[in-house]
Structure 1
Amino acid sequence: MHRSATDPRPRVLHLAQPVEGGVAQVVLDLTKAQLAAGLRVTVACPGGELAAGARELGAEVREWHAGRSPGAALPDEVRRLARLLHEVRPELVHAHSAKAGLAGRLAVRGRVPTLFQPHAWSFEAVGGATGALALRWERWGARWADRVVCVSQAERATGVRAGIRARYTVVPNGIDTARFTPAPATERPAAAPLVVCVGRLCRQKGQDVLVRAWPEVLRRVPRARLVLVGDGPDRDALRRLAPASVEFAGAVTDVRPWYRAADLVVLPSRWEGMALAPLEAMACGRPVLVTDVDGARESLPPGHRAPCLVPPGRPGPLAGAVTGLLLDPELRASLGDRGRRHVQSTHDVRRTAEAVAELYRELLGGRPLVSSERRESIHS
């Protein structure tokens, strides 16, 4: 698709793989804000939740067939993407996560202003030769990103320490604070203490550590319940590992009821960029417990770190922290209240969208993202 000569607005292409979870939500939130501001937005991805959500918002969606991980199909994926770029003719490309960042930069090679947003570095997810290869690529591919957008200062620091020489900008993740809100007290029936873990069932999110910690939690809080909300490649292994009392809710279309019902939301990740689940939970007024990894610690408000931060990969400290919070309702209430105020002031999605828009304006040479007529209608 060629840009109309009569339409001065630049076209933004969001390129994404994966198409579910936090990455997809970030893309949808940006797409929604950019469409509302009058930009022309195209989303290229391999279908799934992201494509359906983008179409519902009114964005143009282009199917880009690509697997989640690099492999022998990569050259064909890059060629398909190059053809798509020729058709769409974007004036700015925003590539999300490792796979889209790899294929996108190979296809664009600096010919169009390009932002790369890792959403957690690829080389943290793998070890050995694969991890070394991923790091080598990130160092080399940085030349084809006009800006690397990190969602936390810690993520940026990890890239710098790894020798990735890039122009970095930190834009913390944001969530819709008007959508994620506390439930009325009348909607929280008295029941057994409920711990909820929301996220893709995979090694990164660390649900196996929480499941291993759970018997010790039950020893001290016998009526406690644990619910894992989400789906993913580790589902069957976790079911085999988990005690019978652990519940698997699967993937849900609306996670808010689970946050609002929880006495404690836990995210025991092994690595993160900045997960949305703790932000969403805090916006719902719920206390959170996360691991001391990049991005996760930065999502917490000042003063939360002592009771709400545990070392990754260690069931013992995790069980102790979960138990301590379950046995202290006054502390949980205080943490929930402070967490909501923190998210409202620091992680509202409108702040995130405006920070990204400012980057776009900079990379487009200060060119307005919308026409003067549209700006007048927005502010009238």
Structure 2
Amino acid sequence: MLPQDLLCQERPTILHVSEPVDGGVARVVTDLVRAQVAAGLRAVVAAPSGGELHRDAAAAGAEVVPWPARRSLGPALAGETARLARLVRRTGPHLIHAHSAKAGLAARLAVRGRVPTVHQPHAWPFEAADGTAGRLALGWERYAARWADRVLCASEAERLRGAEAGVPARWAVIRNGVDLERCAPAYRDDAVRRALRRDLPALGDLPPDGPLVVCVGRLCPQKGQLSLLRAWPAVGAAVPDARLVLVGDGPDRELLHAAAPPGVRFAGRARSAVPWYRAADLVVLPSRWEGMALAPLEAMACGRPVVVTDVGGARESLPPGAAPHCLVPPTDPAALAQAVLGLLTRPQLRTTLAHRSLEHMRATYDVRHTAAAVLGLYRELLGVACPESTERISR
């Protein structure tokens, strides 16, 4: 339990600003808000309507205010920044915590250092674009860093990528965490597992004991599902009864449907991915870039082995000794197919890795530790004379 006087102030206000309203960013914001409300803070969340964030943040105890904003940058940024500045004046935060590139830029432009500000990129925008767009994204991150009291990274790899790119930030690194009560193994025998599978959509033709691979993520270029679809024919040829299910929705839906080989199913957006993790034999996330993806952490907390690409935070997130079996280069379908087959065809190795992964999550990635570390960072930035948090990963 977090102490009620953790910041040694009377109910400070934290304003979380987020453009993403679903997926991993929404879960991170919701988990932080829940812990901060329990610690006696006033948490306010400003985000576009729609998605999961408004509902889940409100249920966690936050005050939720609409902040209309588009996902991409463009001419609308000036109006979005002005609206956010008005929200800041109305809510009167002691500290602003901005999540993602778009919200981070708008928040820093809106207050320009007048309110203590934490910017958490959740993956660098200049990794998402090439050419002029990539140079512009890098330029604004370098420029806007002056108005962030801390740039908070979810992995040491994310911090190193920013530093190597010339972002002149005052850094903090606090790893993402997982709600270990929500994400937990749910079965101990095959009968329970078969019952779980019967309750899930898109699995009508899956043999009761057939191998099931699950990929959870927004259907978009970042998450790399196209590489997984290109890898699947080799998997299907070697393990004909295997099925792959893509859980999520997004702008690449039609492209991925058109590219899907036999044996692939699309489940659409799920209210919770936990049942899919629990039903799977293996969880795969072939991302092209990340800060530290939440889906593999959740899968491992559910006792599932994972295959992930060697992008920001992935190597750090795996249990010791797992990388040779679970880590592959990004955008390499052949390597991805080899890793998936290496685990699908070796059940004892899957069991061993699942056990190691579960213990690793319990020891290292408890969201309560993450939330306590973030509160320790807030305390430092607010200049409160309290003991240092022991949970902060690094500076």
TM over 0.5: yes
3-state DSSP of counterpart to 1:76: helix
Per-residue deviation, 1:245: 2.1
Aligned to 1:376: none
Determine which of 11, 34, 37 is the counterpart of 2:36: 34
Determine which of 339, 349, 374 is the counterpart of 1:331: 349
Q: Distance in 2 between matches of 1:80 and 1:183?
A: 44
- Conserved 8 A contact 2:242-2:263: no
Determine which of 101, 106, 117 is the counterpart of 2:104: 101
Per-residue deviation, 1:115: 0.1
Q: Distance in 1 between matches of 2:61 and 2:370?
A: 20
For residue 20 of structure 1, what is the amino acid of its counterpart?
A: D
Q: Distance in 2 between matches of 1:56 and 1:330?
A: 41
Determine which of 158, 162, 173 is the counterpart of 2:161: 158
1:38-60 CA-partner distances (Å, limit 9, x unpaired): 11010000122111111122211
Determine which of 270, 276, 279 is the counterpart of 1:252: 270
3-state DSSP of counterpart to 1:131: helix
1:72 paired to 2:83:
no
Give me the TM-score of the superposition, normalised by structure 2.
0.90
Aligned to 1:378: none
Per-residue deviation, 1:244: 3.5
1:12 paired to 2:14:
yes
For residue 249 of structure 2, what is the amino acid of its counterpart?
A: D
Aligned to 1:372: none
Q: Distance in 2 between matches of 1:274 and 1:57?
A: 23
1:15-64 CA-partner distances (Å, limit 9, x unpaired): 00111100010000000000111110100001221111111222111111
1:122 paired to 2:104:
no
Within-5 A mapping of 1:332-371? 332-366=350-384
Determine which of 184, 187, 193 is the counterpart of 1:188: 193
Provide the aligned length of Structure 1 versus Structure 2. Answer: 363
Q: Distance in 2 between matches of 1:58 and 1:307?
A: 41
Uncovered stretches (5+) of structure 1, i.e. residues with no partner: 1-6, 370-380
Uncovered stretches (5+) of structure 2, i.e. residues with no partner: 1-8, 195-207, 388-395
1:296 paired to 2:290:
no
After alignment, is 136-145 or 44-53 more displaced?
44-53
Superposed CA RMSD: 1.2
Per-residue deviation, 1:252: 0.6
Q: Distance in 1 between matches of 2:350 and 2:263?
A: 23
Aligned to 2:223: 205
Aligned to 1:135: 138
User: Structure 1 runs of 4+ off > 2 angstroms?
Assistant: none
Aligned to 1:45: 47
Within-5 A mapping of 1:184-333? 184-186=187-189, 187-189=192-194, 190-333=208-351
Per-residue deviation, 1:298: 1.3
- Conserved 8 A contact 2:125-2:137: yes
3-state DSSP of counterpart to 1:93: strand
Give me the TM-score of the superposition, normalised by structure 1.
0.94
Q: Distance in 2 between matches of 1:58 and 1:166?
A: 31
Q: Distance in 2 between matches of 1:360 and 1:292?
A: 31
For residue 285 of structure 1, what is the amino acid of its counterpart?
A: G
Per-residue deviation, 1:78: 0.6
For residue 10 of structure 1, what is the amino acid of its counterpart?
A: P
For residue 24 of structure 1, what is the amino acid of its counterpart?
A: A
Q: Distance in 2 between matches of 1:72 and 1:119?
A: 23
1:279-338 CA-partner distances (Å, limit 9, x unpaired): 110011100000011111211111010000011101111111111110000000000000
For residue 188 of structure 1, what is the amino acid of its counterpart?
A: R
After alignment, is 243-252 or 178-187 more displaced?
178-187
Per-residue deviation, 1:259: 0.4
Per-residue deviation, 1:368: 6.4
Q: Distance in 2 between matches of 1:355 and 1:139?
A: 25
Q: Distance in 2 between matches of 1:80 and 1:295?
A: 34
Identity, % of aligned pairs?
63
